[in-house]
Amino acid sequence: MSGVELTARLERAGFALDVDLSVAEGEVVAVLGPNGAGKSTLLGILSGLLRPDDGRLRVAGRPLLDTADGTFVPPHRRGIGLLAQEALLFPHLSALANVAFGPRAQGAGRGAAEERARGLLAAVGAAELADRRPAQLSGGQQRRVALARALAPEPGLLLLDEPLAALDVDATPAMRTLLRRVIADAKQTALLVTHDALDALVLADRVVVLDRGRIVEQGPAREVLARPRSPFSARIAGLDLVPGTADGTGLRTADGVELHGHAVEVVTGEAAVAVFPPSAVSVHAERPEGSPRNVFRVRVAALEPRGDTVRVRAAAPASGPDWVDGLAADVTPAAVADLGVEPGHAMWFAVKATEVAVHGMK
């Protein structure tokens, strides 16, 4: 294949990594897992900063590592890009020179390298920053330049190491949307390490869950996060997720259910997901009237005590304009008793439009 093929075994004191991972050309794979699961070790092996005890790595058809025959391509010759939590720009170079650095290191002439750099700065919305040095840029601006720099050498693989973790809350949605667009436009093969379910949903085609150095779960991003099978993926999801198509005022599901919410830089007609916390969902025995604009029919599948609350998990026994599958609501034990909520009962879930965010997704 022309994407990424990795088999790696590595043992260190108290830890062992044992993975077989493939990423198709142009695919974005999100790697999730608790602290100590092996995510950083995996990135270290891919980037060349760590040598496994046993393993093979091919990127874009090129062998970069094979312990059987001694092949080991050093990091600076691997053609792998990195966008880390921190921008890590060269402080003495302008934004333009930072982006042009990769092509220049590959042997491109100054004119060609700067032409590519200007094109990428324009693609990430930073053309006007070309002559500024990093100290003259905000954190969000530095991150845009860092993204352009990571893409400039046309890497066979782009490693995204918690790329949004250091951004403030206001800058994160715009940068997430920018990443999705730029990576899609470049048809870039990428591996994303994140703790954020929304990053995985918006940016990734597929999710891989690591735990104790092994892959314990994988599949399409929406399926893994909507129906998690491992404790960590269930914990990281922690959200109600409704897939569909952006329609300008929110989202419409394949069954015709309309959800109203606030769109986060979403284009009408594109694939999207509506996201809201179970704590924002109220449960009713009869269809509620009044302020909630999103009301769904559900059938209770399970009740899960969670300290001071009870999570009501629901499943839709039928498709149609009212039924929605796979939702959860967090309510008090008193509410469960007052409403007589029990598995198998038909109920109504309601959530205000102000609690629902609609994001474009891959």
Q: Where exactly are the structural domains of the chain? A: 4-226, 239-360
Percent of the chain with pLDDT over 70: 95
Q: Is the pLDDT of residue 1 over 80?
A: no
Helix (H) or strand (E) segment spanning residue 303 = strand 294-306
Neighbouring CB atoms inside 10 A of 217's CB total: 19
Round to whole Å and give the CA distance between 185 and 44.
27
| pLDDT tens-place string over residues 98-115 | 999 999 988 999 999 999
| pLDDT tens-place string over residues 27-58 | 999 999 888 899 999 999 999 999 999 999 99
Burial of 305 (0-12, 13-18, 19+ CB in 10 A): exposed
DSSP summary character for residue 135:
G
Instruction: Compute CA distances 95 → 2, 98, 144, whole Å.
Output: 32, 5, 10
Q: Is the pLDDT of residue 234 over 80?
A: no
Q: Is the pLDDT of residue 168 over 80?
A: no
- Full-model pTM: 0.76
- Comparing 117-126, 181-190, 223-232, which segment has the lowest mean pLDDT? 223-232
Give the pLDDT of residue 117.
96
Give the pLDDT of residue 316.
66
Give the pLDDT of residue 72.
96
Give the pLDDT of residue 132.
97
Q: Which residue has the higher pLDDT, 272 or 213?
A: 213
Round to whole Å and give the CA distance between 38 and 214.
8
Percent of the chain with pLDDT over 90: 53
| pLDDT tens-place string over residues 206-217 | 999 999 999 999
Give the pLDDT of residue 98.
96
> Average pLDDT, stretch 209-233?
84
The answer to whether 4-226 and 239-360 have equal CATH topology is no
* The CATH number of domain 4-226, selected from 3.40.50.300, 3.60.110.10, 3.40.50.2000, 3.40.366.30: 3.40.50.300
As given in the structure block, the two tokens for residue 291 are 């302020």
pLDDT category at 166 given cuts 50, 70, 90 is confident
CATH no., domain 239-360:
2.40.50.100
Give the pLDDT of residue 181.
87
As given in the structure block, the two tokens for residue 268 are 């009408």
> Average pLDDT, stretch 341-350?
91
Q: Is the pLDDT of residue 331 over 60?
A: yes
Mean pLDDT of the chain: 89
120, 97 Cβ separation under 8 angstroms: no
Give the pLDDT of residue 89.
94
Q: Is the pLDDT of residue 323 over 80?
A: no
Q: Is the pLDDT of residue 304 over 70?
A: yes
Among residues 230, 136, 132, 143, which one has the least CA distance to residue 182?
143
Give the pLDDT of residue 109.
95
| pLDDT tens-place string over residues 175-200 | 888 888 889 988 999 999 998 888 89
- Comparing 209-213, 272-276, 351-355, which segment has the lowest mean pLDDT? 272-276
Q: Any idea of the CA torsion for 223, 15, 162, 26, to the nearest 10 degrees?
A: -60
Burial of 342 (0-12, 13-18, 19+ CB in 10 A): exposed
